[in-house]
Amino acid sequence: GENVEQHPSTLSVQEGDSAVIKCTYSDSASNYFPWYKQELGKRPQLIIDIRSNVGEKKDQRIAVTLNKTAKHFSLHITETQPEDSAVYFCAASLNTGNQFYFGTGTSLTVIP
């Protein structure tokens, strides 16, 4: 089955700096890669996703890149703000399967 690894597990950045979170996956058939943000005590919410037919997607300060050959994808947050502090989860899924495979999460702290 699919195996998703996520790094780093914790990340601290100064406000205004960029943050990068990386994930790798094992099944080359995976074709959908969402990123979820979970604030303390709240439910995970989708912040951005990418499908395997594109290499990069951007939404304001957030961008995701996908390298299908290397089987890795990354979340980039620019001009970080304190409200970006949360746990971020990557995931991978196959359109022929039933499961989302989640990474173990990255706890991001943005220091004012």
Site residues (vs another protein, CB under 8 A): 31-32, 34, 36, 42-46, 49, 51, 89, 93-95, 97-105
Give 98: exposed, middle or buried? Use CB within 10 Å, 0-12, 13-18, 19+.
exposed
Closer residue to another protein (CB): 37 or 84: 37
Residues in the chain: 112
Nearest distance from C-beta of residue 27 to another protein, angstroms:
12
Closer residue to another protein (CB): 19 or 89: 89
Closer residue to another protein (CB): 103 or 108: 103
**Phi and psi torsions of 96, nearest 5°:** -100, 0
The closest alpha carbon to 105, from 36, 12, 40, belongs to 36
